Structures are given as C-alpha cells and as structure tokens.
Structure 1
Amino acid sequence: MDSEATPTATLQAENLGSRQRPPGVWRQSWYRFRRNRAGMLGLTLVSLVVLIAIFCPLLAPFDPSDQSAMLRGAARRAPDSIHLLGTDRNGYDVLSRMLYGARTALAVGLGAMAIASLIGVTIGGIAGYAGGMTDELLMRFAEFFMVIPVFIVILAVVRLFGIVVVGTWLENIPNLNLITIIVLLGCFEWPPIARMARAEFLRLKHAEFVEAAVCIGSRKRDILLRHILPNALPSLIVLVALGIGGAILAETMVSFLGFGDPKAVSWGQSLFFNYEALKVAPWAVLTPGTAIFLTVLGFNLLADGLTDAFNPRLRQ
C-alpha cells in the first residue's frame, strides 16, 4: 500500500515545488512593468506606431506620392470627406503621408540604435571585462565622441556626401540621404551604451556564476556572450528604448532644416515643406508634429517603465 502511494506523493511534491518555484528575472520585470501606468501607456503608443508602420498600405487612403489634388486645385484643402486630414501645399494627402511616415521614423530609430548598440556593447563590454589600460583607452575614446557636436557633423556630412555622390553609382541608391543619417546617428550615439555596458560587465565579471564558468574551463567568448551579456541586457534595453526616441527627434530636426532625404516620406520633411503655411494650412504641420510628439513620448514612457521594471530600487 505504501509502495503504491509513494510515487503519487512524490509527483504531488514535485508539482507543488514547480508551482512554488520563484519566477525569473524577466517574468518579475514584466509583472512590475504591467503595474506601471506610464510604461503601459508608452508600450501602447509604441505598439500603435508599429502597427501603423506595418499596415499603412491598407490604412492610407492615397499613395504617399499622389499629387492629384494639386491638379484639381485642391492643394492646402481643409479636411473634408475625401481628405480626412486635408492636403498640404504640394497636394499630398496629409493623412497618407502621416501614416507612411511611421515607417521612416521606426527605420531611423531602430536602425540608428542597432548600430549604436553593436558598437557600444562591443567597446563597453571589452573595456569592462578586460580592465586596466584597455579600459582606460576605450573609455577615453568614448569620451572623445561625447564632446563632438554631433548635430553639426551630421549636417555637414549629409550636405558634403550629397555633393560627392552626384554622377556616381551611389546616386542610384534609394533614400541614400536617409541611410546616411541613420548610419551617422548610430556612429555617434554609442558612448552612453558603452558606458553602461562597461559598468554592467565590471559588476558581473566577479559574480559567482561567472567564476563558476571560469572554473569549468569555459572560453572567454562563451563567458561574455552566454553568461555576462544576457544579464547585462535589462539595463541596456532601457538606454536603447530611450535612444530610439532621440534618434527619431534628431532625424526630424535634420529634415526640418532642409538636410533630409527629399525622396523619403518622413514627418520632418512634412514640417519642412509646410511650416511657412502654418497660418493658411495648419493641419499640414500639426498632423506630423503630433505624430512626432506621440511617438517620442511613447518611447520615453516605455524607457521610464523599463527602468522601474528592471531597477525597482531606484524608486525606493
């Protein structure tokens, strides 16, 4: 009788233990994030922008390059049943340009921060794990990039590059100016990520699980990529989320000054082409301006919620 009950009791004990097993770091962080109203609002706004970017061909009533309204004398037309948000001075449908602009905004933010993350994590991780003179040299290199007037450099390089490529095969690359802006933003926005990666690698390289991996003979590459980097990701994700909004705002400023890509459908370009008609056709400026505000606000609130989720002690 006891021999038959023993397996059942053991199974019940195992099930009870699995139910009482403490949740992992990511599950705990998600639980704290859900309780953060600002973070959830940011996630909602970001999700909305992503959905618009994906389904804009289905949502937009007109092609973003359609200027038929100008031929009908309907440029700067106020919102009506045909053009729900009106038209701008070039005859473009404001709603369609706003929807397609979400793609450009996300391409700029995600592309720039992907480049910045790759450079920053590589340099910061090597500096933090190696230490010594390597750490000093790499951090001085990062500080050099932090004092460079990034905005002025981007304007100068974009204008110079636009002149140099004339008559070459590079001129045939679609949205070349936009790609240049993305690369430049990524190449200059990595120092904060490198500093955070260095701090996390310095903290984690003396952790018990890392020392255990060293004792069993794990290679440095495995220690860095499989043990230290995954545990450093939470803090880095916060900076990346914050940097996406900053990159979108930077591209908007570059485009507003007339240095953007004229072939790209971006909110900054809409502001550049229509800011002079603010009194005549305010809808052509307020629509992309509102889209920029909500998108950047969404990423900033998301970053704030991630900070509370991954670093709850900062609020204590």
Structure 2
Amino acid sequence: MASIDHISAAGTARTDKPRGMWAQGWARFRRNRTGMLGLGLVSFVVLVAILSPLIAPYAANDQSAMMNFGSRSGPSLAHPFGTDRMGYDVLTRIVYGAPTALAVGLGTMLVASVLGLLIGGISGYVGGWADEVMMRLTEFFLVLPVFVVILAVVRLFGVIVVGTPLEDIPYLNLTTIVLLLGLFGWPPIARIARAEFMRLKSMEFVEAARCIGATRSDILLRHILPNAMPSLVVVIALGIGSAILSEAMVSFLGFGDPEAISWGQLLYFNYAQLKVSPWASIAPSTAIFITVLGFNLLADGLSDAFNPRVK
C-alpha cells in the first residue's frame, strides 16, 4: 500500500511540474477572448495571402471586365465586390493585396526589431554614457515626422514611372518603403528592450551565469533576450498593424509602388469615384481595417497574457 502511495505521489509530482513562461502565457492567452479574436483575424489574412493565387477569381492584372461591363460595375455573381474604373475585379485585387500588406508589416518590423534590439539591448545592458547617447538618439527619431521624411525622399530619390496612370509622378518602390518605415519604427522597441535588459541584468539567474563563466554574448543571447521577448512580442505585433496602415497611407497619397498591388493603391485609384462606385473604395478600406484590428487585438491579448502582474 505504501509503495502504491509512493508511486501515486511521484506521478503527481511529475504532473505538477511548473510550466515554462511561454506555456503559462499561452494558457492565459487562450482564455483571452480579445486575443483569440485577433489571432483569428490575423490567421484569416495570412491564409488569404498564402492561398491568393488559388482563391483569386481572376488574374491579378485581368482588365477584361472593362470590355464586358464598361469602366465599372456593381457587385454581382461574376464580381462579388464589383469592378473599379480600370476594369479590375475588386475582390481579386484585394486578395492579391494581402501578401503585400503582410510583406510590408513583417519586413518593416524585422528591420525595426533588429535596430531596436541592438540599440536598446546595448543601452540597457552597458548603461553609462552609452545609454545616454543611445537614448538621445532614440528620442531624436521619435520626434521626427516620418511622413515628411518620406515625402522628402520621394522628391529627392523617387523614380518617375512613364506610361502608367502615375506618369510624371515620383514614387518609391516597396523595398524602399519598408526600409524607411523600419528605420523610423525602431524607437518603441528600443525603449522596451532597454527597460527589460536593465531589469534582467541584475536578476539572480544572470548573476549565476556570470559566476560559472558565461561570456557576455551568452548572457545576452541565451539568458536575457529570451526572457525579454514576451514584452517585445507585444510591441512588435502592434507595430505590424501600424506599418500596414502607414504603407496604405503612402500609397493613398500616390507615392506607393505602382508595380505592387496594395490596398492603399486601390484607394488611390478609386477614391475620386466614391459617390459613383463606393464598393471599389469600401472593400479595400474594410480589408485594411480588419487586418490592422486583428494585429491590435492580438497585441492586446499578448500584453494581458505575458504581463508579469497578471496571475
């Protein structure tokens, strides 16, 4: 009987083994309805982007609707979201705009994350004069108006495309837009990284790693960075939605890449006909709204799940 109790106690001990930080965060996240709604919206957009060549009803540059229906037609069985003034099927252009939106959001935050982690991590871990210099640099980038800089770059380095609806208007290609947004999107990540690195560098497990002879790079990459990531994931998820909205605004102003199908570009081409064909503007606006809302709700759920003050 005693041996059975001993085995049962041992099994219970193994079952009650403390879960890791990520496992606990995921368990809290699953109970967060806001976060799960955001995850569902983001998953839907990602699925549309991956399957865009398969689910789009027409080819990306198919303008045959102009020959059959004139310059534009309302929603119908053949064109559920209608067609625009250039004869494109609106649903097709929205589907093909999803990969562009995700590429902009993820690419921008990749650039911003690398810069933010590098500058914020060094600032928080080293401290002293390096911290002062890097934080003043961060504050300088925080107060710079990103859209004024983008407009200046367009005027100075923009490429003029000839033979398109954007003739004689300079524009920036998609890669340049991603780099510019990333170069101005790193300060929030740097500030969070600095705070986390300053907090974690004095923790007991970091001191223990120093005592056993761990190098500085090992301490930063294997001990501090993984424990700082939950807080950073929140601001990165929030920044993806912000980057998608920023690219849409740049394209809506007419400075986006005409060779890339984007939702902001659809608004630029069709907003003048809003009273005549509102479907051509409402559909891409709704796509932008759903995507940005999804990432914002996802960030809100992640914040509640990985907030150390939440039990």
TM-score normalised by the shorter chain: which range applies? over 0.9
- Separation in structure 2 between the aligned mates of residue 155 and residue 177 of structure 1, nearest angstrom: 13
Could you give the per-residue CA deviations for residues 202-254 of structure 1, whole angstroms, max 9, x where no partner exists?
A: 00000000000000000000000000000000000000000000000000110
Structure 2 CA distance for aligned equivalents of residues 13 and 223 of structure 1: 37
Distance in structure 2 (CA, Å) of the matches to 1:159 and 1:99: 31
The answer to whether structure 1 residue 124 and structure 2 residue 120 are counterparts is yes
Match of 2:286 in 1: 290
In the alignment, is residue 248 of structure 1 matched against residue 247 of structure 2? no
**Which residue identity does 1:100 align to in structure 2?**
Y
| 1:107 pairs with 2:103 | yes
Shift of 1:11: 5.4
Equivalent residue pairs, number: 303
Alpha carbons of structure 1 residues 177 and 285: separation in structure 2 relative to 1, 3 Å:
same
Quote the residue 1:86 is aligned against: 82
What pairs up with 1:275-314 in 2 under 5 angstroms?
275-311=271-307, 313=309
SS of the counterpart of 1:39? helix
Residues 37-96 of structure 1: CA deviation (Å, up to 9, x unaligned): 111111100000000000011111001111111133432111111111110011000000
Cα pair 2:83 2:89 within 8 Å, conserved: yes
- CA positional deviation for 1:147: 1.1
CA–CA distance in structure 1, aligned partners of residues 151 and 63 of structure 2: 29
Q: CA RMSD in A?
A: 2.0
SS of aligned partner of 2:173: helix
Residue of structure 2 in register with 1:137 after alignment: 133
Amino acid at match of 2:80: L
TM-fit CA distance, 1:164: 8.4
For the 8 Å contact 2:159–2:172, the answer to whether it is kept is: no
Aligned equivalent of 1:238? 234
Distance, in Å, in 2 between the alignment partners of 1:136 and 1:165 is 44
Partner-residue secondary structure (3-state), 2:51: helix
Matched with 2:23 is: 27
4+ residue stretches of structure 1 with deviation over 6 A? none
Corresponding residue for 1:60? 56
Amino-acid identity (%): 65
How many angstroms does 1:33 deviate by?
1.0
The equivalent residue for 2:167 is: none
The whole-number CA distance in structure 1 between the counterparts of 2:189 and 2:272 is 38
Which digits, 9 at most, give the CA deviation of each residue in 1:95-153, with x for residues without a partner? 00011111111000000001000000011000000011111111111111111111111
**Aligned counterparts of 1:113 and 1:11: Cα–Cα separation in 2:** 50
Distance in 1 between the 2:88 and 2:231 partners? 42
SS of 1:72 mapped into structure 2: helix
Q: Is the Cα–Cα contact under 8 Å of residues 124 and 195 in structure 2 kept in the other structure?
A: yes
Q: In 2, are the aligned partners of 1:142 and 1:191 still within 8 Å (CA)?
A: yes
TM-score normalised by L of structure 1: 0.91
156-165 or 282-291: bigger deviation = 156-165
Q: Do 1:158 and 1:180's aligned partners in 2 also have CA atoms closer than 8 Å?
A: no
Partners of 1:158 and 1:181 within 8 A in 2: no
Distance (whole Å) between structure 1 residues aligned to residue 275 and residue 159 of structure 2: 34
The secondary structure found in structure 2 opposite 1:264 is coil
Give, in angstroms, the shift of residue 24 of structure 1: 1.4
In structure 2, C-alpha distance between the alignment counterparts of 1:14 and 1:57, rounded to whole Å: 54
Work out the CA distance in 2 between the residues paired with 1:15 and 1:117: 43
Query: SS at 2:77's partner residue?
Result: coil
Which residue of 32, 36, 39 maps to 1:40? 36
Stretches of structure 2 that go unaligned for 5 or more consecutive residues are: 163-170
In the TM superposition, what is the alpha-carbon distance from 1:194 to its structure 2 partner? 0.3
Runs (5+) with no aligned partner, structure 1: 167-174
1:218 is the counterpart of 2:214: yes
Tell me if structure 2 keeps the 8 A contact 1:158–1:177.
no
> Quick one: distance in 2 between partners of 1:74 and 1:11?
79
